[in-house]
Amino acid sequence: MEVYPLKFHPIFKQRLWGGNKLRTFLGKDVSGEDIGESWELSGVAGDVSVIANGPYAGKSLWELIETFPEGLLGTGVLERFGTEFPILIKFLHAREDLSIQLHPGDDLARRRHNSFGKTEMWYILDAEPGSELIIGFNRDVSREEYLQALEGGKLLDLLHYEPVREGDAFFINNGKIHAIGGGIVLAEIQQSSDVTYRIYDFDRRDANGNLRELHTELALEAMDFQQKDDFRRSYGRKRNQPNPMVDSAYFKTAYLEVDKNLERDLRGRKAFTIFLCVGGQAVIAVDGQAVQVRMGETVLVPAAAGSVQINSGGCRLLEVSP
């Protein structure tokens, strides 16, 4: 395998709640006023990323995994996940509130959908004054209380609202009720899954005047009814070294602020590494082959890389590995 930093063509998704900041704030080459998501790196069937640079340009992520499974994924990933790419990377802009939703865990998702479950994290890139997330309940509730509130139009009274600002980080366990509020741009790191149970959508209608489907019954078995203050993640801001943010069974994420020439040793990882640029710009190089990244771009460094060099006068990265 020829080892170099891989960039991919974004996959843009129109959403009822989407806006224009993927273009105006992140500089994405996309038209339209309702583009809610940019899938940066995906192995999800039907939305598989295509390489944009270097000798493998035009090949899909699946093709590269099939040809170089160990070189791209690493032995540790192959042992845990086989040849399935286990992480999905997105940028989102919510002009309006997303629907209130949750995601199943691995066992339930595998049984119902032949899919990974969905545990995720968010890093806030931009937030308008007063922007909030919905994360979990504001107290422990019973199944019966929840259903009564949902049917009586009182669900919002049971939910926890969390104010946000740029740089905040959140970890969302599967089963936790949540929604991204309007006015927020964020990076999302998650298990490779597109399974969502929508439970409330503010009675909005789509472009055809139809209410969107709700998944009330499916959500019940997956839902965590306990109030848990376990979602906000604090992290260090020491420069030129990784500052741990999330260490989960599905992915590990560190905050990495670079203002010099930095080399990261990857030899003990046995897995690929993803860099999301969430501020500034940098040159990322492997074995002398370099790519430039700016805020809103993502790079995959194959597992076969022994190290990576990052050169920047000032950038902020999220470093992600399975």
Q: Are 87 and 39 in contact (CB under 8 A)?
A: no
DSSP assignment of 212-244 equals PP--HHHHHHH---S-----B------BTS-EE
Q: Please state, in angstroms and rounded to a whole number, the distance separating the CA atoms of residues 121 and 87.
A: 11
**222-246 burial: b if 16+ Cβ within 10 Å, else e:** bbebeeeeebebebeeeeeebbebb
Tokens of 43: 């192995």
Residue with tokens 């740029």: 166
Helix H, strand E, coil C: the string for 130-170 is CCEEEEEECCCCCHHHHHHHHHCCCHHHHEEEEECCCCCEE
198 catalytically annotated: yes
Q: Please state, in angstroms and rounded to a whole number, the distance separating the CA atoms of residues 105 and 103.
A: 7
Q: Are 56 and 302 in contact (CB under 8 A)?
A: no
Catalytic residue among 23, 198, 264, 316, which?
Answer: 198
Q: Please state, in angstroms and rounded to a whole number, the distance separating the CA atoms of residues 50 and 69.
A: 16
Residues taking part in catalysis: 198
